[in-house]
Structure 1
Amino acid sequence: MAWRARQLRVLTRTLQTQARHDYLPQEDLGEPPYIRPAGVATPRQLVQYLDEFVIGQENAKKVLSVAVFNHYNRVRANLSTMESDEDDMDWPDASADDGVSSARINPHPWRLPIPPVGLQPRHPIPLFEKSNVLVIGPTGSGKTLLARTLAKVLDVPFSVSDATSFTQAGYVGEDVDMTIQRLLQAANWDPQRASTGIVYIDEVDKIARKSGGGGMEGSRDVGGEGVQQALLRMMEGSTVSIQSKAPSSVESPISGSGEGRTRPGPRGSNTNFVGPKPDTYHIDTSNVLFILSGAFVGLDNIVKRRVAKGSIGFTANLPQPEDDNSNGFMPFFTPNRTSQNILDLVEPADLVKYGFIPEFISRLPSMTTLAPLTVPDLRRILTDVRGSLISQYTALFGYSGVEIRFTTPALNEICKKASERGGGARGLRGIMENLLLEPMYEVPGSDIRYVLITDAVVRGEQTALYWSRGEGVQFWSAWAKHAAVEKKLHKTKGAS
């Protein structure tokens, strides 16, 4: 027996085991490198891309870029937290101590020992809440262009909706669920991809609470406050059920009779006919980012009344009657200071006075404003940005085989008239359409091959200058003459 025990001891000493998982020493690994997730650009890169299409509005670009970047960081963090919670539910009970350990458990050698369940509660990583964005700015300042440009650069589902057609559920109009349905369509009917998309709602100021009522029983605001109430849960995070298609009206019999005729009886009473049922998708909006925008006409007057400081005396700065929203009545107390962009001072209380319920505004923690476009901004929109108006009309005339040119004073005059007219970039396009109406009417089908627009043409003092085929030398001579005059005037102004 002693010899057998000695032999067994020798065998056990020479027995070698191999680890199921190979782990590198901790000092050899070093610090894990940071790898930026693929498909998500940094906020600075998003701003650089927006600069190619949108002029100015630096603060709005930063707010939207940071909101988009942080949103998808939250999405990844929330999804990883949910996956880790699911893994922890499958983790075996560490408090069971029966002397037998499972062979399937291969803990990492650096992992801290898991405390017993009853001694120390485990604190999971909290889920990050999203920050929806509200964009306020006058018409033509670039609100929709910012959203459309973001939709191009982001490889995520992106839906655009107009709030003017929204009504409360059960009334004529679109339900707010249509925003999620458009998002699902943009995601190619992939619910998981649609649940991490972006919803852009334009003209959100049109769903402000309507003041007044009328009638003994009053009137229900189905297009204002009713829509705000419907958007509350969706913006906070809820599950929306969307039906992809309506059931088909053509039904095929299960039993192969070969006749293809329906049996007598009321429609739908035959149980042998089974039609296709509509697919229902359930979209969780907890990880859907909502970007809302609107012009908010009249909001500046509410802000002015809040920030106005009263002053009396002969040296008080009195505003113009048209600046006050009181039907020409001049108040005794007038504001002492004015702001270049009064919308920068907007607070949630101002939006509540405008007609929004506090619950709706509290779900829009991130807010930014867009300033009206100045004359230099309009000039850059006209010539510098990608897809500028000058390049568009140059290409439009090029389809007719015509070359059109604008002098520098003509471009400055166009921007000046657009600034006086108002409407931002839309007003600029309106002036271009009126200015080029006659050339666009005369050129197609004629022998005109060259068109020159000067500042006198913009002011309406003369018509556009035309040259026919073979008169390119005269066209370039006139172009050079105007350029020389412009250069001389520029030197004269610089010397003075």
Structure 2
Amino acid sequence: MSDNNNIDEILDIDSLHEDHADDNDKPEKVKAASADKNKKEGGKKTEDEYEDVCFVCRRPESRAGKMVHLPNNIHICSECMQKAFDSMNDPNMPYADMLSNMTNMPNMTNMPNLSFFNLNDMADQIPQRQKIKKKKPKEEPHVAFDIKSIPAPHKIKAQLDEFVIGQEYAKKVISVAVYNHYKRVETGSMDDIEIEKSNMLMIGPTGSGKTYLVKTLARLLDVPLAIADATSLTEAGYIGDDIESVVTKLLAAADNDVEKAERGIIFIDEIDKIAKKKNTNQRDVSGESVQQGMLKLLEGSDVEVPVGANSKNAMVPLTTVNTRNILFICGGAFPGLEDIIKERLNKQASIGFRADLKDKYDNDPDILSKVTLEDIRNFGMIPEFIGRLPIVYTLQGLTKDMLVKILKEPKNAILKQYQKLLALDEVRLEFEDQALEAIAEKALEKKTGARALRAIIEEFMLDIMYEIPKDDNIGTVVITRQYIEHTGGPHIEMRGVLSLEG
């Protein structure tokens, strides 16, 4: 113990096993670990996909430095090992007396207050979901980049058209923004000109397709997507999710691959719920303070996040994620924003021959499309937060015709799903046009957008899905308007028999 600083020379596990133990005397797990370690492919040792994590302090190798490798996948960082050696040199600890007593005693198991542990029992202490993938070595930037590998805006919109009905302006804006963002990510900085991020703010009534639009976009681009709810976010130190938890969800969606997560998309829903609270004397821990905390994420910074857990603690490894190339899309319904817009527009209608009527904009279905940044600031969003979301666009409220198209036109339309379910029972399901209009009218009355369609269809399809498996002779079921309005029943056609009306 004369040189405590040179830990690698003091404790060389591989040399100890070679000098003092025969291969036949090694435990099976040690031999398996040794075999994996020395396994070769093409003359080169295979590198593990994950970083080693210190068993004591839980820091990964990229932060703690070189590890001392013990049997059974146990790794100790140099700092923790040094602390162990320092404690052994403590004069208050009578190690010499304990060792002499152990050599003189015939049965060491009879020693009082002394217990032994087996390294085999400590194997696999770190769960797979709490392991950190190694960062790939940075490659030199390519001189010539193939921009054609990124889907053009018109191609992105064409793919969105197959799944999302209407919202032409929103699909056009998001296609261009995503295209420019990933061009920025792939090309990096060009000379002295640095391209800013294309973070977006999406405003639209409930059920207009905000979340569905982002989900479809992430699936088409094949990038990690994390969907977070702003209502659960609070200022650090208070009950709720920390602001960094949105990055933790993205890291989990990328299978703990930091490099893949740094090119993903984070969608923060219900962003209007973190607006500044008005006329309150209490600390606004879930409003303005959350907006302040999100500024660094939106602009781009290094954030330490836990791996495989929702909160930071001593038993969870941490890793660093840079949010500079992460695309943030914020969405919300912003209830009450229409009144703010109307108030601004009606200021022009005061007096004079050209004055507008006060109720001119009361029945305007596209009132949200006239929103300005000043309206959003008056709603309760701070200017610094709005400034980091340069692209602001609105979604239209769904009309009757749009709801009918949503029912039958998308690739995974609701009606197609039920038709496939009944086709598994060898029954054909059809819908009359009048029935589709009746469903759309009922959905408009609920004022919850496209979400109401599924609830209405579930209601009238319950009896059909229950009764059809009873009779194998049923061939076709036609849904009528009378059945939707509870004034009649569906048309049922039997196999080889005249049609019946239910």
State TM-score, norm by structure 2: 0.65
Check 1:419–1:338 CA distance in 2 against 1; reply closer, same or farther (3 A cut): closer
Name 1:456's counterpart in structure 2.
Answer: 482
Aligned residue runs from structure 1 range 102-181, under 5 A: 124-181=191-248
Q: CA deviation at 1:209?
A: 1.5
The superposition leaves residues 129-161 of structure 1 with CA deviations (integer Å, 9 ceiling, x where unpaired) of: 112100000111111110010111113222111
Query: Runs of 5+ in structure 1 lacking a partner?
Result: 1-31, 82-123, 247-275, 319-332, 480-496
Q: CA deviation at 1:369?
A: 0.3
Name 2:100's counterpart in structure 1.
Answer: none
Q: CA deviation at 1:444?
A: 3.7
Q: CA deviation at 1:439?
A: 2.0
SS in 1 for 2:342: helix
Letter in structure 2 aligned against 1:459: E
Q: CA deviation at 1:289?
A: 1.1
Structure of greater Rg: 1
Distance between the aligned counterparts of 1:316 and 1:448, measured in 2? 69
The superposition leaves residues 432-459 of structure 1 with CA deviations (integer Å, 9 ceiling, x where unpaired) of: 2223233233334345623221122222
Name 1:91's counterpart in structure 2.
Answer: none
SS in 2 for 1:443: helix
* Residue 310 (structure 1) aligned to one of 349, 357, 380: 349
* Residue 54 (structure 1) aligned to one of 143, 147, 164: 164
Q: CA deviation at 1:237?
A: 1.1
Q: CA deviation at 1:394?
A: 1.4
Distance between the aligned counterparts of 1:153 and 1:60, measured in 2? 17
Q: CA deviation at 1:468?
A: 4.7
The question of whether the paired residues in 1 share the 8 Å contact of 2:303 and 2:320 is answered with yes
SS in 2 for 1:424: coil
Check 1:287–1:336 CA distance in 2 against 1; reply closer, same or farther (3 A cut): closer
Name 1:286's counterpart in structure 2.
Answer: 324
Distance between the aligned counterparts of 2:146 and 2:322, measured in 1? 28
Matched, 1:345 2:370: yes
RMSD, matched Cα: 2.8
Check 1:314–1:397 CA distance in 2 against 1; reply closer, same or farther (3 A cut): farther
Deviates more, 1:169-178 or 1:447-456: 447-456
Identity of aligned residues (%): 44
Check 1:169–1:43 CA distance in 2 against 1; reply closer, same or farther (3 A cut): same
* Residue 444 (structure 2) aligned to one of 413, 419, 435: 419
Aligned residues: 354
Distance between the aligned counterparts of 1:198 and 1:439, measured in 2? 41
Distance between the aligned counterparts of 2:435 and 2:446, measured in 1? 16
Distance between the aligned counterparts of 2:274 and 2:408, measured in 1? 36
Distance between the aligned counterparts of 2:363 and 2:157, measured in 1? 30
Letter in structure 1 aligned against 2:196: E
Matched, 1:203 2:203: no
Matched, 1:233 2:296: yes
The question of whether the paired residues in 2 share the 8 Å contact of 1:311 and 1:334 is answered with no
Check 1:438–1:312 CA distance in 2 against 1; reply closer, same or farther (3 A cut): farther
Matched, 1:371 2:482: no
The superposition leaves residues 416-436 of structure 1 with CA deviations (integer Å, 9 ceiling, x where unpaired) of: 332343222112222222232
Distance between the aligned counterparts of 1:33 and 1:245, measured in 2? 38
Distance between the aligned counterparts of 1:432 and 1:306, measured in 2? 41
Query: Runs of 5+ in structure 2 lacking a partner?
Result: 1-142
Q: CA deviation at 1:277?
A: 6.8
Q: CA deviation at 1:466?
A: 3.4
Matched, 1:36 2:74: no
Distance between the aligned counterparts of 1:384 and 1:192, measured in 2? 37
Letter in structure 1 aligned against 2:390: P
The question of whether the paired residues in 2 share the 8 Å contact of 1:176 and 1:231 is answered with yes
SS in 1 for 2:349: coil
Name which structure has the greater RCO, CA cutoff 8 Å, separation 6+. 1
The superposition leaves residues 283-322 of structure 1 with CA deviations (integer Å, 9 ceiling, x where unpaired) of: 111111100001111111110110113267999986xxxx
The question of whether the paired residues in 2 share the 8 Å contact of 1:133 and 1:290 is answered with yes
Check 1:245–1:447 CA distance in 2 against 1; reply closer, same or farther (3 A cut): closer
Distance between the aligned counterparts of 1:464 and 1:313, measured in 2? 60
Deviates more, 1:393-402 or 1:140-149: 393-402
Aligned residue runs from structure 1 range 308-457, under 5 A: 308=346, 309-310=348-349, 334-335=359-360, 339-447=364-472, 449=474, 450-457=476-483
The question of whether the paired residues in 2 share the 8 Å contact of 1:310 and 1:336 is answered with no
Letter in structure 2 aligned against 1:378: L
